[in-house]
Amino acid sequence: MEGKSSYFVLLVIVACLSITLAFLAIGYFFFASGSSTEKEVIVISEVIPGEDELSNKVIFQNKNFNLKKTDSKQIAVISLSASMKHFKTVEELKKEEEVTAKIDFYSTEINSAIGSYFQDLTLEDVAKKSTRTKAEEDLKNIINEILTKNDKKASPLVYSITFDYWFYQ
């Protein structure tokens, strides 16, 4: 008799688990899959800062960088003057002096990154019209990455990079 009652208890446990599993499967397909088909649209609008929020800093003037060689006899060089517009204050750095001090602290790494960037370009690359704007955008991102690499909650410091002088040969 004891064998039949334990058999009945096991049968009830298996039935309860099966029903629970069925409800979980139904809930998963109706509720979880329904939310994945609806996509959230997040609109990010870039707010253009005013003149009172930005400061201008000259990175370097008439500095020469070697370009990548395309043949063994050709030496290619680009001469640049660059300046950057950066925010006077950000969430982490409340004073303008702190922002300027941080940029000055990383100035050697910034100059090295700019030199490395142009060493990967050839004379034909820098002769294209689109290269100048692409370089400004790429270097802005690289410099922001350098300046915020040690911050837990990082806001970009550099708003834009401008090449005042761009001469290649």
SS (H, E, C) 142-165: HHHHHHHCCCCCCCCCEEEEEEEE
Residues 131 and 92 in one domain: yes
Judgement on whether residues 89 and 147 belong to the same structural domain of the protein: yes
Residues 110, 138: one domain? yes
Is 70 exceeded by the pLDDT of residue 33?
no
Residue 43 is assigned to a structural domain of this protein: no
Q: Do 74 and 15 fall into the same domain?
A: no
Q: Do 63 and 26 fall within a single domain?
A: no
25 shares a domain with 59: no
Domain of 111, in residue numbers: 54-168
pLDDT tens, position by position, 39-82: 555 554 456 778 888 888 888 888 888 888 877 677 888 898 98
How many structural domains does the chain have?
2
- Pair 75, 7 in one domain: no
Share of the chain above pLDDT 90, in %: 11
Torsion of CA 89, 100, 163, 120, to 10 degrees: -110
